[in-house]
Structure 1
Amino acid sequence: MTGRAAPVTVLEGLRAHDNDYSGVERSFRARTGFGLAGPIDRVPEGISEPVSVVVATYNGGRPLAGTLAGLEAQLWRGFEVIVVDDGSEPPVHRVVLDAGLTVPVTVVRSPVNLGAGPARNVGLTAAAGSTVVFLDDDIRVPPAMTALLALRQQHTEGCLFTGFRDNTGPEVFFAPDGSPPPRIERDWRWLSNRGGDRYLLVTADPDVPHCDRTSFEPVRESRYFKDFGHGRAIGFWDLPGMVSSHSLCVKRADAVAAGGFPEEYGTHWGAEDLAFGALMAARGTYVVPALEWVSFHLRHEGRHVPRAAERARLEQALDRYRNLLQQPPGERRLPRHRLRRVSGPGRPGVECYELIR
């Protein structure tokens, strides 16, 4: 968190703080020779930032294998992996062991499905690194990801970095070399053709003027998010909406100070990342796009939800989000999740824990 004053409510914090990280960017460039948003075209030397990569999964054993393969292919090895098994049936121990990761691995098993927010908070509790990277279980990351994020967090304070995704099929997601490379322009934040009143509801500030456009380029139009903040929006999108939990990176201390991911969303459709982004931005954390952090995302298989049910879940999640916006951000605390070490079908370098309910 930066040294800026704490707001009374989350919404007031979003209105009070800017997202112009130009000063941080100048300092970062002076130290490293690179721009903060990127791109960074080579893996630098001298990286020492401890990094924990948290992957929460629920019945996602098949795509998880591809996610772990991408982590094993990382060019920089100074990180640990924490897999949070959120009540999967069958458990994912065997998938993790078969991945053969050569970096330290921790598997935390919850006996019941808690939902994405609680599962990520369990990972945050178990993380030993001062920097934490959160990934979904169906993301195939580029080989320089951990190095470039560690470099950014090593030389900055008060920044949340967010990555991009390219939706693809299994023939690409599971390809050993990840070829062809993912394309950033296929992420909706690069080019969004979404429209309609349902997306207008996503903006935090109720005073955002109506917009008739249906095509947006949030990254370019916001000068790489610098013109977001102070409650400003581009069409249907504002700063919290730029935060996606499939690929985000924060200082552990900043995430803990914000209270972690809100857990009141349960197991229904997301918005916990939207809420987490609002909590972080309201406290003065800068949201910065990492342009070379582009991953393949495996298109969801077999998840067919009727439109009416999807709309109802979205409305429920957004109602909870609006309620969170009226709360004081400084009063949130990271929920306590107690872990117990257990014996498991392990191998050297793999530790197993269970969540105590």
Structure 2
Amino acid sequence: MTAPQDFRLTSGSGEVAPLWARCGHAPLEVLVEVPMPSATVRLAAPGRPSWIGRGETWRHAPARHALALLADTNQAAGPVRLLLAERGRRRVLAILGEADVSHPWVVTGWLGWPDTKPIGSQGLRTREALAARSNDYWTLDLAARAIGFGPTDVAHAPPLPWWAGISVVIPARGVHDVLPGVLHALADAAARLPAGTPWEAIVVDDASDPLLSLPPGLPRQIRLVRSDTQLHCGGARNHGMARSRYGLVLFCDADTHLAPDYLTEHVARHLLAPNLITVSLRDHIPAHLPVPAQAPDGSRDSRVSAHYKPGRLGLVPVPEPVTVHPIRQTRGFRDFGNGRRLGPVDLPFMVKGNNLALPAATARSIGFPPDFTGWGPEDVCFAAKAIARGSYVVPVLSTGVFHREHPPRSGSAARRDAELAANLNRYAHHLDGRAALPWQVPNPVGVRR
């Protein structure tokens, strides 16, 4: 889904910034207002309540009610408008633009809904919903421009408060040597948050032997929880997430150092929309070298450039060598929706567990698949369900992370590949599951009966 050709921009850069500041930089959301003969619908993004207006009266309504009105009406009563509003409230801050549409239903794709029926995609399998989802987040671009951020993937955003708080979840097993540096880098990034921003970090010791411990000198917001049995990476993330408290959750691996501006840059994007998964690129550093003083260089990240050879393990065969440049070839993932692939990779593959941030409500409603053991790709599988339910994947290229290179955690490359092959089969199974339903597994790993 791209912006309609006749979309007429009505809000200039910076017009909303003073008003938003007076609102205390409350989280925002984009709504599509569709006038119809019997009512006016303000459709919100997936996972958010919409508004239905009759006369001067507006009421919150479940999205399925708004979608039903759009599906049952053959023609809008006038141009549809794109609104920037204070999240969850009636207050409209700006009219971003308007357009004439052929049918009211077509506006669903503007906000991240699958551009298909049945209403709400309740009956769609995950792979079907992925094929019906655009990742063209042009409405986010307009919202960012309206309050003066500039392009969302280039300009540095100002530090902004996130009063709902930030929870960082770090699965950790056998990382005694690198964990102190990771946590000190996290503390440095948290220190850059606006004063009073609630935050916490939960390190999940996934049955390490010997047990992990926190280094001295860390902020009290960082705490350690333990699992007596190995839950593996996804299960450890779920274990930590179940103990988290705040509205935005960030997953970071225990061998990954956040850049100092990482949290502030990601928070700014989530303040603009309620249905994002934000990711940044990683810079690899050898285990024996210190973390560089300069910003991470993500040029070696596979999302910038990757070469795939025949015989590569994956869901999609590689018949001949192929080199892909995902960010450049998809305009920052904007054209990476509707099931599109570049070589063997697709949009879910752009979400890596070394760093990703999304609303806690979304993350908790999905959880990482509990049946994955060992190496990969539980993060990709998690992302597939989140995208199928309406999340946009947005790269934040103005910041990044450092990743410590290390030998295979599985003990050998052969064992790692065997784990990957088994998990790819699990991933294929979950793609055939219903997007709106919980994971369907016969015997979830790590679940105590």
**1:78-227 equivalences in 2 (<5 Å):** 78=197, 79-93=199-213, 96-98=214-216, 100-172=217-289, 174-175=290-291, 178-199=292-313, 201-203=314-316, 212-227=320-335
Q: Identify which of 312, 323, 339 aligns with 1:231.
A: 339
Post-superposition CA distance 1:326-347 (Å, at most 9, x none) = 1112220699xxxxxxxxxxxx
| Equivalent position of 1:346 in the other structure | none
Post-superposition CA distance 1:294-328 (Å, at most 9, x none) = 11110014757555433322221111100001111
How far off its partner does 1:249 sit? Answer: 0.4
- Mapped partners of 1:103, 1:20: distance in 2: 40
How far off its partner does 1:194 sit? Answer: 2.5
Unaligned runs of 5+ in 1: 336-354
Whether the 8 Å contact between 1:245 and 1:273 is mirrored in structure 2 is: yes
Unaligned runs of 5+ in 2: 1-44, 47-62, 64-112, 114-119, 442-446
2:404 alignment partner AA: L
Q: Percent same amino acid among aligned pairs?
A: 29
Post-superposition CA distance 1:16-44 (Å, at most 9, x none) = 111111112211332352332x2333543
| Equivalent position of 1:350 in the other structure | none
- Mapped partners of 1:275, 1:26: distance in 2: 30
How far off its partner does 1:45 sit? Answer: 4.1
Matched, 1:293 2:399: yes
2:124 alignment partner AA: V
CA RMSD in angstroms, aligned pairs only: 2.5
Matched, 1:242 2:350: yes
Post-superposition CA distance 1:163-210 (Å, at most 9, x none) = 2111111354x44xx3243211111110112322325x335xxxx9x7
1:260 alignment partner AA: G
1:196 alignment partner AA: P
- Mapped partners of 1:14, 1:128: distance in 2: 30
Which of the pair is proportionally richer in helix? 1
Matched, 1:23 2:102: no
- Mapped partners of 2:361, 2:391: distance in 1: 12
Matched, 1:261 2:374: no
Whether the 8 Å contact between 1:260 and 1:334 is mirrored in structure 2 is: no
The number of residues matched between the two structures is 323
Matched, 1:8 2:132: no
TM-aligned CA distance change 1:356 to 1:12, over 3 Å: closer
TM-aligned CA distance change 1:322 to 1:101, over 3 Å: same
3-state SS in 2 of match to 1:156: coil
* Structure number, greater radius of gyration: 2
- Mapped partners of 1:148, 1:277: distance in 2: 21
| Equivalent position of 2:69 in the other structure | none
- Mapped partners of 2:167, 2:427: distance in 1: 28
1:327 alignment partner AA: G
- Mapped partners of 1:197, 1:89: distance in 2: 36
- Mapped partners of 2:319, 2:390: distance in 1: 27
Whether the 8 Å contact between 1:50 and 1:150 is mirrored in structure 2 is: no
- Mapped partners of 2:250, 2:440: distance in 1: 17
Matched, 1:67 2:204: no
Deviates more, 1:325-334 or 1:159-168: 325-334
Matched, 1:310 2:416: yes
Post-superposition CA distance 1:232-286 (Å, at most 9, x none) = 10111101111101100010111122x21001012x1121001011111111211
TM-aligned CA distance change 1:313 to 1:333, over 3 Å: closer
Whether the 8 Å contact between 2:166 and 2:247 is mirrored in structure 1 is: yes
- Mapped partners of 1:42, 1:109: distance in 2: 36
User: Which of 1 and 2 has higher RCO (CA within 8 Å, sep 6+)?
Assistant: 1
TM-score by length of 2: 0.67
- Mapped partners of 1:171, 1:307: distance in 2: 21
3-state SS in 1 of match to 2:312: helix
Post-superposition CA distance 1:56-84 (Å, at most 9, x none) = 10111211111101112122263211111
- Mapped partners of 1:109, 1:91: distance in 2: 9
